[in-house]
Amino acid sequence: MILSNPTKKLALRIVSEVGFDQRIEGFRLRERAGILPVRLYSFSEVVHFLSDPFPRIDFQGLAHWVLDVMQDPELSEMIRETADTEASDLEKANRTLDLMGIRLVQAKKIM
């Protein structure tokens, strides 16, 4: 789970918000409210979302978003590998949270 240090350009994309057309959507599960859609406009919002007790997101779609919007092929491939495992969605969320959290810390250090 070792990620190389991001470039300054990549770090800037990671700490910035994206536009409406580049957002990614997920869902939170709540006992009384049920399924709540969540629109995410930044890398840090995705990290925060994944730390929710019951996050639901298309992990392949997230890998695609990280590749196309964030332009981070290294992280995208690691998320894709996690998505392809037989692990539960909660395990995938925790693994992805770890990876994205590491990348966010790296980006904030550079900025």
Provide DSSP, 53-67. SSEE--HHHHHHHHH
Dist CA 95 CA 23 (whole Å)? 21
pLDDT above 90 covers a percentage of the chain that reads 90
Give the pLDDT score at 30: 86
Question: Average of pLDDT values for 68-81?
Answer: 97
What's the token pair of residue 16? 């910035």
pTM: 0.92
Which tens digits make up the pLDDT trace of 43-64? Answer: 999 999 999 998 999 999 999 9
Question: What's the mean per-residue pLDDT of the chain?
Answer: 95
Across the range 80-90, mean pLDDT stands at: 95
> What element of type H or E holds 44?
helix 43-50
Structure tokens at 42: 């930044």
Q: What is the reported pLDDT for 111?
A: 87
pLDDT-derived band at 31, boundaries 50, 70, 90: confident
